[in-house]
A = this chain, B = another copy of it.
Amino acid sequence: MLVYLNGQFLSKDTAHLSVDDRGFVFGDGVYEVWRVIRGRVFEPDRHFSRLQRGLRALHIDAPVEVSMERLGEIAARLLSENDLLGGEATFYLQVTRGAAPRTHYFPPEGTRATVYASVKAFVPPEETRVRGVRAITVPDTRWLRCDLKTVQLLPNVLANQQARAAGAFDAIFIRDDLITESTHASLFGVLDGVLRTHPANHLVLPGITREVILELARDLGLPIDEHAIPARDIARLEELFLAGTTTDVTPIVQLDGVHIGDGVPGAITRSLYAGLKERLYGREAARAAIDAPRNGVVTR
């Protein structure tokens, strides 16, 4: 597997980080994940803008390769040389404040940020998108800058593992009795016929798929309310779904062991998934992909 590290393309097993890397020592960095479909990067600009915003917030000087053009070239070469231009893939990029003797304050000027990029084959698990998944709720113990896509991900790791141990697909964070998001996706619910999601403030990641879903919902004329869903309203939810770069639209049909709505993916979730598929794959491809498996599930 060819990866990119600090200006070099090299085999992953020879791509090495310093033990002084501030990513390792402090979790001092940001990352992005782009979806790539047959070599075409999905929403490249939005992910790039979010990355730039994160670098600015952390006061990390954007290294020279962090430009749309150069990142596009890096992604293209990694996809090509790893033979991932034909199917689906993800492009991962991580930028940390670089390697320097350990001090909490920033390292000396001129310390080069670490830039690591890799690609991975991605197979959308169509079944979970169509049938829906189980999830659990956990307290949201994360820090108060969840709007930044940093590698401060230990609470996400622990919550996701807790979900997995419980036989669930993901864990939903609850802070101050409000649903925020999941360990690595945005969360949408339908309550009283209105599409609800947490406002894009400091407590949730401004998800790119979240934005796309909101656009699709507007196009569909759905009523939208960007106010968090209170935990006490979970029992009343008509629909609930995850939205993310590798999650697409994934319906949650059971939360903490209790059915959501009828216990099957709802109509709004399904239309938004159909819309997202069009954006991802184009109209014809999406229709073909959706029609086949859906029938088997939604009608029970």
A-side residues, CB < 8 A to B, are: 3, 5, 12, 15-28, 31, 58-59, 92, 94, 96-97, 102, 104-106, 116, 118, 139, 141-145, 150-158, 160-161, 163-164, 183-184
Interchain CB contact under 8 A, A141 and B143:
yes
Interchain CB contact under 8 A, B27 and A153:
yes
Q: Would you give 21 A-B contacts (Cβ < 8 Å), ordered by A?
A: A5-B19, A15-B18, A16-B18, A17-B24, A21-B24, A22-B157, A24-B94, A25-B31, A26-B27, A26-B151, A26-B157, A28-B154, A58-B158, A59-B158, A104-B157, A106-B157, A106-B164, A139-B144, A141-B145, A143-B152, A143-B155
Contacts A104-B160, A105-B157, A106-B161; A24 near B26 (Cβ below 8 A): no
Quote the shortest CB–CB distance from A85 to chain B (angstroms): 21
Residue with the highest number of chain B CB atoms closer than 10 Å, among A19, A20, A139 = A19
Interchain CB contact under 8 A, A104 and B24:
no
Contacts A154-B152, A157-B28, A160-B104; A19 near B116 (Cβ below 8 A): yes
Cα–Cα, bound, A24→B23 (Å): 5
Number of copies: 2
